[in-house]
Chain A
Amino acid sequence: MNMTPRMEHGLVLFLVLMFLIPCAMIIFVSTEVPYRVVPGEPVKDAALAAGITITSVKDTTWNLTGATGGKTYVLTDSSGNTVTMSTQAFDSAESRDAAIRLYNAHPVGRGKPVGSLLVVGQHIVYVTPANSPILEEISGELKKMNGS
């Protein structure tokens, strides 16, 4: 039993690190989006820059603390793809981050949440469906608005 306690503790440490290392690495290498006021309408501006047609726009306010309003856009590209993008501005980094946390706390079953979430300055952009050629086209423009 002389070596066993040391080995046991080493294996416990190994186990803990095997969880923390990938989780921490993924979190730390992911791009953090600082809270800052991005002027204008990010989705509209990005869609226009990418040559995507906005087929409808509607004002919307999410029932969340700190949500100050936004718009729901239906976008269509030349291939006939359609995507719905709903934006919402938040009055503080805390309220915006709480909304991000809330979205990620709602996976369907043991899977992923429905749709995609993007963060642009003070805005959250919710997109359905998650995989859309339109989002692929305009996500570059949206990222530029974050200064990345």
Chain B
Amino acid sequence: MSADATNTGSLPSKKVLGLFALAMINVAAVLSIRNFPSMAIYGWSCIGWYIIGAILFLIPISLAGAELATGWPEGGGVYAWVKQAFGEKGGFTALFCEWSNNLVWFPTVLSFIASTLAFALTPALATSPYYMFTVMMIAFWGTTAIAYFGEEASTKFGNVGVILGSIIPAILIILLGVWWLSSGQSLVLPHLTLEAMVPTINFSTLPFFATIILLFAGMEMAGFHALETRDPQKDFPRAMALSALIIVVCTVLATLAIAIVIPADQLNLASGVMQAIQYFFNAAHVPWLVAPMAVLITLGGVVSLAAWLIGPAKGLGIVAEEGNMPPLFDRTNKYGAPVAVLVIQALIGSLIALLYVFLPSVNQAYWILSAMTVELLCIVYILVFASVIKLRYSQPDKPRPFTIPGGKTGVWIVGGLGLFGTTLAFVVGLMPPSFFASNGLAYVLSVLLGTFLLAVPPLVFLKLKKASWKKPAVPGRNV
């Protein structure tokens, strides 16, 4: 850590974020090109799956997030919200689950970044664990370095990166789809009917339900940046609406564009998004766009990584600032970045990435780790939805510039749908895939034990908490 990283105490709160920047934080966290081919394989029924995801998660989390962020525009995001409803233990657990979910998820997004970049350079590079690990570490520590320079630098990088790496590629895919339609090319999908849009939900597809619920996870990310927001009461709801609109339009239209061009049997999901993009661009007679697209999608991956890397780390910095973690975790630099948390996060993430890359043939282990990330994230959202309902009763008079319409009935419907979706996702997330059938119980116990271990540290920290950890109150901060 550098000399300027020795400050402990309050995070300087420079108000640099407006509506656009807040919306872009959410878009960066949620919109991902790599989802499109995976969803396109479902043809027209992807519309039905997206509607399920929107009703049971996207709309509830956007409304709940807007109400909570405007009612409690304090630093910490989910920590601040859940703490109001369920106390420090609940808030710290929610935040820590989001943070630990990240640490297990980082290697997958880093691996995606490295393999996509290899596609732009020489695809064979992806077979080298040394190349993979080097690029993964450059991306990880590089993003951590951007976070080190505080909110202003992160915002500039995020704004440019999300437009170049997520929105422009999505628009390009949509435009090519429109061109495909208007030029009279044959569509690989049958005619659109209401029946075709209805997804098949049975025992075999049930695990996909958990996936679809978390397709839009990250809509709460802007909430972590409340302290740096110029006018949170006004900007949060509008940013939620704007980001949801961009995400839904880009996701649905780009998925359909791929689905109408690439036959389902060619959408081999085992071979990744760039292979689908290559097929798509070859079919559209623009093969020269593949390499630039790979670079843009790599950038999109980095921006997504940055959004998830910075948000929960800032939240943990707030937790430490409030005295729930030892002062070491509270170290900030002159840019206001929680350097200690960022460095610890980068170290743990690097070690997990090392295991991920150099022990690659244990495919089942990856599956269990993915399942753990699903369970951890479900815990976060269950607590958030429960909080928005509870706070209507425990703090009914608290001014909320944005409230979920419909009074208590409305909040029960919105929170209830979110609770239903995330609880169901938690339960089906425990279902072992068929290749674990012979030792399904061991699978479930592994996932539950891993989830428990990654969720329990806040309780240990709170148990060992000392009065000396707490910093003096910061003027203007409502903690």
- Contact surface of A with B, Cβ cutoff 8 Å: 1, 4, 7-9, 11-12, 14-16, 18-24, 26-27, 30-35, 58, 60, 62-67, 72, 81, 83, 86, 88, 92-119, 124, 126-136, 139-140, 142
Query: With A and B bound together, what is the CA distance between A118 and B364 in angstroms?
Result: 8
CB distance from B433 to the nearest CB of A (A): 5
Q: Which of B265, B356, B468 contacts A4 (CB 8 A)?
A: B468
The reply to whether A62 and B270 form a contact with Cβ atoms under 8 Å apart is: yes
A104 touches B363 (CB 8 A): yes
Select B115's contact among A101, A124, A142, beta carbons within 8 Å: A101
Known contacts A11-B464, A30-B365, A116-B435; 14 additional CB pairs below 8 A are A4-B466, A7-B326, A23-B355, A30-B362, A63-B275, A64-B272, A98-B127, A100-B360, A109-B212, A130-B204, A130-B208, A131-B204, A131-B207, A133-B204
Q: Is the CB of B108 within 8 A of A107?
A: yes
Q: Which among A26, A111, A114, A115 has the greatest number of chain B C-beta atoms within 10 A?
A: A111
B340-374 vs A: 1/0 string, CB under 8 Å?
Answer: 00001001100110011101111111111111111
Given the interface pairs A62-B271, A130-B434, the reply to whether A109 lies near B126 with Cβ below 8 Å is no
Which residue of chain B has the shortest Cβ distance to A23 in the bound complex?
B352
Contact B364 A114 (CB under 8 A): no
A83 proximity list for chain B (CB < 8 A): 204
Count residues on chain B whose CB falls below 8 Å from chain A CBs.
Answer: 96
**Are A105 and B352 in contact, CB atoms less than 8 angstroms apart?**
no
CA of A105 to CA of B203, assembled, Å: 25
Residues on the A chain within 8 Å of B357, using CB: 101
Bound form: Cα–Cα A133–B367 in Å: 19
Verify A131–B270 contact, CB threshold 8 A: no
Residues of A within 8 A of B204 (CB): 81, 83, 129-133
A109 near B435 (CB under 8 angstroms)? no
Q: Which of A12, A67, A86, A109: most chain B CB closer than 10 A?
A: A109
The minimal Cβ–Cβ distance linking B368 to chain A, given in whole angstroms, is: 5
Query: In the bound complex, what is the Cα–Cα distance between A94 and B123 (angstroms)?
Result: 13
Q: Is the CB of A108 within 8 A of B111?
A: no
Q: Which of A19, A33, A116 interacts with B361 by CB under 8 Å?
A: A33
B442-472: which residues lie under 8 A (CB-CB) from chain A? 446, 449-450, 453-454, 456-457, 460-461, 464, 466, 468
B364 and A31 contacting across the interface, CB-CB below 8 Å: yes
Instruction: Provide the residues of chain B in CB contact with A103, threshold 8 Å.
Output: 269-270, 272
Asked if residues B123 and A65 are in contact (CB atoms below 8 Å), the reply is: yes
Task: List, in ascending order, chain B residues with CB within 8 A of A126's CB.
Answer: 268-270
A11–B326 alpha-carbon span in the complex (Å): 8
**Within 8 Å CB of A104, what residues of B?**
108, 111, 363, 366-367, 370
B272 near A106: Cβ-Cβ < 8 Å? yes
Distance between Cα atoms of A14 and B461 in the complex (Å): 10
> In the complex, what residues of B have CB within 8 A of residue A101's CB?
111, 115, 126, 132, 356-357, 360
**Cβ–Cβ contact B431 & A98, under 8 A:** no
- Determine the distance from Cα of A142 to Cα of B348 in the docked complex, in whole angstroms: 35
> Is A26 within 8 A of B363, CB to CB?
no
B126 — which chain A residues lie within 8 A by C-beta?
65, 98, 101-102
**Chain B hits for A139, CB < 8 A:** 434-435, 437-438
Residues of B within 8 A of A99 (CB): 270-271
